[in-house]
Structure 1
Amino acid sequence: MNKQIKKIAIIRLSALGDIINSAVVLQFIKKHYPDAKINWICEEVFAPLLQTNKHLNAIHSINLKKLKKNKSFSLLKKTVSQLSNLDDYDIVIDMQGLIKSAIVARIISKNTHGFDKNSSRESLCALFYKTTSSISYEENVIKRNCFIVADALGFEITDAMIVNKEPVFEKTKDFELRSDKKNIALVIGASWASKIYPKESLLKVCNALQEQSYIIWANEAEKKNAEWICQHCEYATLAPKLTLSELISFVSEMDLLIGNDTGPTHLAWAQNIPSITLLGPTTTRMIYETPKNIALKSPSKVNILKINKNDFSIKEISPQQVIQKAKELLYGL
């Protein structure tokens, strides 16, 4: 253990699921460096999520999406100045492994650590790091996240530690849920259309389980599909519109979550809530399976180095498969 490490910066700018799957490392860092101050740099929209993690001392948000959209020199200058004036960190760990995140790391400090050229999607990012870690890009994303941090800080994160982790985020709100039925959350949306499980199949799942199903939605298109399920199933209810911190609390109170490869589904794993992740164009690499966090993958073959966003094979996962796994997790059948 390097006792000289007192200030640590983590860079994971986006997206929601990736930040959720990265934040698990914070509890392990604190275990080995209890006195260290840990800061996180992320896109502005995700700051409220990280504010519910008790191990962070500060969150610094930037708006690279706005910068890219507006192409404003004054905003660029302001962003660079903001990053340059951050603390003098003992180490800055880029968990994202993209050129944009590597540049952010290098602006903040010379003491940068990231993936080597053979371990990231954008190999040129390695040029910006002082030290690097080597791990296959094809490796499970949770294991990659844990490895790069442990390797940078000189300790080990074992499978047992990951399986027995504490919830990654803290609840900030209580919800009034059914006490006479199991409460199940269904995530209806995703960032790509090919990641989305058909609403007709989700309807069959709701009707078969006959428990209280809450349909989580994030935009008007998802809300419309969620309402369609609710109109056709007496056991389905439209979940309220949720902020990121409310989403954490809501998911944390569920008996089970069923969803696509997307942020709210990963949140169930982070909070130690039983979950079924439905995968079409992506693979089980995207989650860390446990006895209560399982995946159902469609028959398609996936090249993770060249994801096919036109792979709609998720629809080939039968509702019966989902129903059976749900019953196993809910009732131990």
Structure 2
Amino acid sequence: MKVLIVKTSSMGDIIHALPLVHDLTGGHPEAEIHWLAEESFRDIPTFAPAVSTVHRTAFRRWRRTPFAANVREEIGALKSALRAADYDAVLDIQGLLRSAVAARWTGKPVTGYTRRTVREPLASWFYDKKLDLPESLGAVRRYRLAAAETFGYAIDEEHPVFALRADRAVALPVTGPYAALAVNTSRDEKLWPEAHWVRLGEELLRRGMRSVIFWGNPEERLRAERIAARIEGALVPERMPLADVGAVLAGARLMVGVDTGIAHLAAALGRPSVGIFVSTPTETLRLIGDGPCLSLGGVGEVPTVEAVLDAADAVAGAR
């Protein structure tokens, strides 16, 4: 059985979809699993060992010059590759018009969500089979149920398993134990104060862990460097592919991060992780993974440094 999972973005959402790969291989050990992802997130599905092929969309780039010759060539090549794969089943768990259209490029029947539960209602017109799974189920549970209903197996809904692997050899100019800090996120209201990060880094150093601080764009790099400059021994690595980021995270003794993909990836990789949420309800979104995780805060709540340190001690035994 050859299947295509369509989950193109964002980073955290793709990570939260990966437990369905473990479920699917348990229900159908013979399954050959392919994934369709946006080009900037193409490395994320590869952390699941059973994903053998990742096809790439580039809608974020294509929409800038939709009629350019190179864009038409890339879209044509993707359509040809998807059709040539000759899938037995296609499941779109993204629920957007663009993902539904891309799923139809396979030339095969597509399973997606009902009109009342899909993110963009027009997308449901492109689905041959429709699943009534509301977003209120939570991302991980919803994606797992979608695959279980589509491919016909049972799951333990309360205990997702990621079983990810990040074993690339990456040279990191830091020796000894280190904590990975995800200090940046896509929206300012999700940020934790820089002074809090400095105090946290200082305390983690006293516990024997240097800080490795991640960034994703020039503005984020400036923030990471400001924080690192005030923490002895802190490191801001050069920008690296997500596959290498995963390898660095897999070697960390601890992850502390705001609501961002890097923090969710570390948790999924089984690292002891603490999530800092200041504008997101932790009842519906929190860190989840194969290792110990704690998520602090909520809408309008700013966790204290002391609370984060206590959580770090709880998940990683830092003291």
> TM-score when scaled to structure 1?
0.85
1:135-154 superposed matches below 5 A: 135-154=133-152
Deviates more, 1:25-34 or 1:153-162: 153-162
Q: C-alpha deviations, 1:269-290, integer Å up to 9, x for none? A: 2101111111123233233547
Among 253, 260, 263, the alignment partner of 1:262 is 260
In 1: Cα distance, 2:155 partner to 2:287 partner: 14
Code of the aligned partner of 1:152 = T
Matching residue within 215, 218, 224 for 2:216: 218
Q: Quick one: distance in 2 between partners of 1:16 and 1:165?
A: 15
Q: Which residue of the partner structure matches residue 271 of structure 1?
A: 269
Provide the residue aligned with 2:79 in structure 1: 83
**Structure 2 match to 1:292:** 292
Name the counterpart of 1:310.
none
Whether 2:24 is the aligned partner of 1:29: answer yes
1:20-64 CA deviation, whole Å, 9 max, x = no partner? 221222122122222222111111222233344321221111211
The worse-fitting range, judged by mean Cα deviation, of 252-261 and 81-90 is: 81-90
Asked if 2 retains the 8 angstrom alpha-carbon contact of 1:205 and 1:323, the reply is: yes
Asked if the contact 1:24/1:270 (under 8 Å) is kept, the reply is no
Alignment of 1:113-262 (within 5 A): 113-159=111-157, 161-162=159-160, 164-166=161-163, 168-175=164-171, 177-179=174-176, 182-209=177-204, 210=206, 211-262=209-260
Kindly tell me: are residues 107 and 174 of structure 1, through their superposed partners in 2, closer, same or farther at Cα, counting changes over 3 Å? closer
Cα deviation, residue 258, structure 1: 0.7
What does the per-residue CA deviation read over 1:66-92, in whole Å, with 9 as the maximum and x for residues that have no partner?
221112164347515632533221110
1:237 is paired with a residue whose SS is coil
2:53 corresponds in structure 1 to 58
Distance, in Å, in 1 between the alignment partners of 2:251 and 2:142 is 29
**By how many angstroms is 1:175 displaced?**
4.8
How many angstroms apart in 1 are the aligned matches of 2:53 and 2:114? 27
Consecutive unaligned residues of structure 2, counting only runs of 5 or more, are none
Separation (CA, whole Å) in 1 of partners of 2:60 and 2:232: 41
Return the letter of the residue paired with 2:156.
T
Contact 1:186 1:214 in 2 (8 A): yes
SS in 1 for 2:201: helix
**Alignment length (residue pairs):** 310
Provide the identity percentage. 23
Aligned partners of 2:60, 2:30: CA distance in 1, in Å?
A: 34
Q: Give the Cα separation in 1 of the matches to 2:317 and 2:73.
A: 57
Secondary structure of the structure 2 residue equivalent to 1:276: strand
Whether the 8 Å CA contact 1:89–1:111 is kept in 2: the answer is no
* 3-state SS of paired residue (1:20): helix
1:99 maps to 97
CA distance in structure 2 between the aligned counterparts of 1:69 and 1:40, rounded to whole angstroms: 24
Structure 1 position 327 matched with structure 2 position 301: no
CA contact (8 A) 1:171 1:245 kept: no
Contact 1:186 1:259 in 2 (8 A): yes
Instruction: Please give the root-mean-square deviation of Cα atoms over the aligned residues, in Å.
Output: 2.3
